[in-house]
Amino acid sequence: MEAADYEVLSVREQLFHERVRECIISVLLFAALYILCHIFLTRFKKPAEFTTVDDEDAIVNKIALELCTFTLAVALGAVLLLPFSIISNEVLLSLPRNYYIQWLNGSLIHGLWNLVFLFSNLSLIFLMPFAYFFTESEGFAGSRKGVLGRVYETVVMLVLLTLLVLGMVWVASAIVDNKASRESLYDLWEYYLPYLYSCISFLGVLLLLVCTPLGLARMFSVTGKLLVKPRLLEDLEEQLSCSAFEEAALTRRIRNPTSCWLPLDMELLHRQVRALQTQRVLLEKRRKASAWQRNLGYPLAMLCLLLLTGLSVLIVAIHILELLIDDAAMPRGMQDPSLGQVSFSKLGSFGAVIQVVLIFYLMVSSVVGFYSSPLFRRLLPRWQDTAMTQIIGNCVCLLVLSSALPVFSRTLGLTRFDLLGDFGRFDWLGSFYIVFLYNAAFAGLTTLCLVKTFTAAVRAELIQAFGLDRLPLPVTGFPRSSRKS
């Protein structure tokens, strides 16, 4: 063989080894996410659904749980996608020729974006509908009972649903663009799936627009419940006394039910006693907290939340001004997968860390706002008491929110990292009016929720400080006497 042949062979071997290395890293990352999500879901599932007398239902629930674990792992991967890319870019800028980070390159990051896009489509369009229909199926009438009969029914229902969704999206694309609708029929992978995922992502971005401002306002109250407040703002001794008195009264009523002439629900009373005992244990733990945790932890946490929230609103306001001044601030897709060329923050690595923290903070806030909204409050999972259909619904909603997070962050200007792969092919991202109105709506809704929350809290504290909450209520219902003149 000549020298040129050896060079070609060495290049091919190098490409082959790089491809194998990227596959191994992707598999290891997804396996770690899968194990973590499996442990998380097993803490919330209802054990009675997996230890039933009927083995068929138990097998079906186990299969559905594994599909939910896969979907939740994809959702967690979508959340980590943009922060991992930003940190990788800064690492490559700081250590461009380090031997130990040669595995971290643009090809790996680009491949992870494509895998998340593929698995998100697979989970939303096929796996989660299959899991729901599988748990609700009973087999066709007249067919043999068993898991296989339920699989046949689920596959038929899934095919019908796919045809229905395919027809609806094709009609929608025909209304928007007739040429795109023809191309979607000719090439399903290149046009139909990105368009369908674009619609789902747009729905997720709208959901984030509603949930994130609500969650930013709710984060203060949620953090206040988890941390120990200073004694100035909270009287733990009074709460412990009230809890002990209520528990004693309920216990006395359970032991002597004949003392009350009304019929008593003993099961309800036992649940109330258990809830009061749990509340008393938590109050005891909070009373035993150290002075540093009580007097320093709560103010620092509130200050951090206020700083992160104000910084998020400030960045969105600056991005709105940039949109009005220069069209270069519009989000766009990056076709070149090479990283490590330039920092995506004007503050360098410090700015990149701030971007990552803000992205995680807004994601947590959106989840808090999602479960705080009246429409989705019933989906809130309960410890060891969450039905299988409720787990499926939670996984679908979390995947929709997390898969829209990269588009959400780039649209609001939280980062200048352009979207990779098929995430940058969404048509509505190029519309100036949609991006501008979205930023303005987010800033307005966040300001409105924060002002309403803080004014309500201040009003409640003032009413309690002046003792107005202890005033007797006006008595109504008595007719006023009137004399005829």
Q: What is the pLDDT of residue 480?
A: 47
Residue 335 has pLDDT above 50, yes or no: no
Q: Is residue 161 part of a domain?
A: yes
What is the band of 475 on the pLDDT scale with cuts at 50, 70, 90? very low
Q: Is residue 166 part of a domain?
A: yes
Q: What percent of the chain lies above the pLDDT cut of 70?
A: 72
pLDDT over threshold 50, residue 455: yes
Q: How far apart are CA 246 and CA 240, in angstroms?
A: 10
Query: Is the pLDDT reported for residue 284 higher than 80?
Result: no
Rg of the chain in Å (alpha carbons): 28
In a domain, 232, yes or no: no
Is residue 37 included in any domain, yes or no?
yes
Q: Is residue 33 part of a domain?
A: yes
Task: Provide the domain limits for residue 416.
Answer: 3-212+344-422
Q: What is the 3-state secondary structure (H, E, C) of the chain?
A: CCHHHHHHHHHHHHHHHHHHHHHHHHHHHHHHHHHHHHHHHHCCECHHHCCCCCHHHHHHHHHHHHHHHHHHHHHHHHHHHHHHHHHHHHHHHHCCCCHHHCCCCHHHHHHHHHHHHHHHHHHHHHHHHHHHHHHHCCCCCCCCCCHHHHHHHHHHHHHHHHHHHHHHHHHHHHHHCHHHHHHHHHCHHHHHHHHHHHHHHHHHHHHHHHHHHHHHHHHHHHHHHHCCCCCCCCCHHHHHHHHHHHHHHHHHHHHCHHHCCCCCCHHHHHHHHHHHHHHHHHHHHHHCCCHHHHHHHHHHHHHHHHHHHHHHHHHHHHHHHHHHHCHHHCCCEECCCCCCCCCCCCCCHHHHHHHHHHHHHHHHHHHHHHHHCCCCHHHCCCCCCECHHHHHHHHHHHHHHHHCHHHHHHHCCCCCCCEEHHHHHCHHHHCHHHHHHHHHHHHHHHHHHHHHHHHHHHHHHHHHHCCHHHCCCCCCCCCCCCCCC
The pLDDT tens digits for 194-240 are 667 777 778 888 888 888 888 888 888 888 777 776 655 556 667 77
* 385-407 pLDDT tens trace: 788 888 998 999 999 999 888 88
Asked, for residue 223, whether it belongs to a domain, the answer is no
The pLDDT confidence band at residue 69, using thresholds 50, 70 and 90, is very high
pLDDT, mean over the chain: 77
For 93-141, how does the pLDDT look when each residue is reduced to its tens digit (9 = 90+)?
A: 888 777 778 788 878 888 888 888 889 888 888 888 888 888 888 777 7
Whether residue 38 lies inside any domain: the answer is: yes
Check residues 268 and 327 and name the one with the higher pLDDT.
Answer: 268
Range of 64-68, 141-145, 315-319 with top mean pLDDT: 64-68
Measured between alpha carbons, how far is residue 290 from residues 227, 230, 285, 297, 397 in Å?
12, 11, 10, 10, 39
Number of domains in the chain: 1
**Is 146 inside a domain boundary?**
yes
Angle of helix 147-176 versus helix 55-94 axis, rounded to 10: 50
The CA distances from residue 285 to 263, 281, 294, 299, in Å, are 36, 6, 12, 19
The pLDDT-based confidence of 473 (bands split at 50, 70, 90) is: very low
